[in-house]
Structure 1
Amino acid sequence: MDSEPAWTTVLTPSDREACLRELEATAGTDRFDEVQRSWRETAEAISAGLGRKEPEWLEDPTPAERP
């Protein structure tokens, strides 16, 4: 790839490297579009704020009636 797509800028440097490695590894295969879509959706989720906030843990767990 000559230049990185704009959406990759929200990925961490290590994720950006992993993304580019995976895209290069799947270039010319049926999996390329799937891999690219997956990474792009990850970048969109990060842009939307997913992962910025710590999870809120329940004080008292509620048992499920059925698994």
Structure 2
Amino acid sequence: MSDEIPKTQVGQIKQIETTPYVSQDLADFGIPGVWVEVDPETAEQMGAFEETAVTLAETEDDDGN
């Protein structure tokens, strides 16, 4: 059996839906198609949140705008 998606006729739209596997086991992290749910503290330790706030001084250009 081939993993290739069969071709459709011209003008025909084909929708393929998949349902992800949800896991709470970090050992499953990185497996395609698997969503790993973790608590906020663990997610932060894994680098899921990145601070992107800037100061007003950082937003101003050389002309002061």
- Shorter chain as normaliser: what TM range? under 0.3
Name which structure has the greater RCO, CA cutoff 8 Å, separation 6+: 1
Tell me which protein shows more strand as a share of its residues: 2
Tell me which protein shows more helix as a share of its residues: 1
TM (normalized to structure 1)?
0.21
> Bigger radius of gyration, 1 or 2?
2
